[in-house]
């Protein structure tokens, strides 16, 4: 299961060259509670290798969920990305209120063993995307916990 989340948070001038830290937005205790999964490796949230992702992007994975943070990320870019996902992929999309400045869920409704469920939201100039891969019969449950988790992550982006 993979989750992707991206956030843009203003940083002091001294930190401008540094990559953002997506793990700052990963609440391990909440993820354990919401997913019902166990941290079998006992390592907690792990940063994605910075060499594998573009500048101004950070990834954090935990419990097979990936959170990706992008900064800066404009409202126009956010809208364009959503339109692209809806057009190119066979995913369904739903606007979500109460998470950041704007948010939406996408999911793959086709039959299969594992399907992507994804929450993307923007807070200011930060985009966070969280993605999980689940069996089709778990999509509605995962959508609910992604929204709950997204609210916590968005509160950390302020």
The residue ranges of DSSP E strands in 20-145, in sequence order, are 46-47, 57-62, 65-70, 92-96, 102-107, 115-123, 126-134
Q: Flag whether the pTM goes above 0.85.
A: no
Q: Say yes or no to pLDDT of 2 above 80.
A: no
Query: Quick one: tokens of 6?
Result: 């991206």
Query: CB of 131 within 8 A of CB of 4?
Result: yes
Instruction: For residues 44-53, give the mean pLDDT.
Output: 88
pLDDT at 31: 92
Strand partners, 62: 65
Alpha helix (H) ranges present in 89-138?
none
């Amino acid at each position: 299961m993979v989750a992707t989340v991206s956030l843009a948070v203003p940083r002091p001038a001294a930190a401008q060259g540094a990559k953002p830290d997506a793990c700052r937005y990963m609440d391990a205790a909440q993820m354990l509670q919401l997913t019902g999964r166990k941290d079998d490796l006992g390592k907690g949230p792990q940063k994605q290798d910075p060499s594998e992702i573009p500048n101004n992007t950070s990834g954090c994975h935990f419990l097979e969920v990936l959170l990706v943070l992008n900064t800066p990320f404009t409202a126009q870019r956010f809208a364009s990305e959503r339109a692209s996902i809806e057009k190119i992929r066979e995913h369904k999309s739903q606007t979500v209120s109460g998470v950041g400045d704007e948010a939406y869920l996408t999911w793959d409704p086709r039959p299969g063993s594992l399907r992507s469920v994804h929450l993307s939201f923007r807070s200011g100039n930060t985009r966070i995307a969280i993605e999980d891969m689940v069996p089709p019969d778990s999509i509605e449950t995962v959508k609910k916990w992604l929204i709950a988790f997204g609210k916590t992550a968005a509160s950390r982006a302020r």
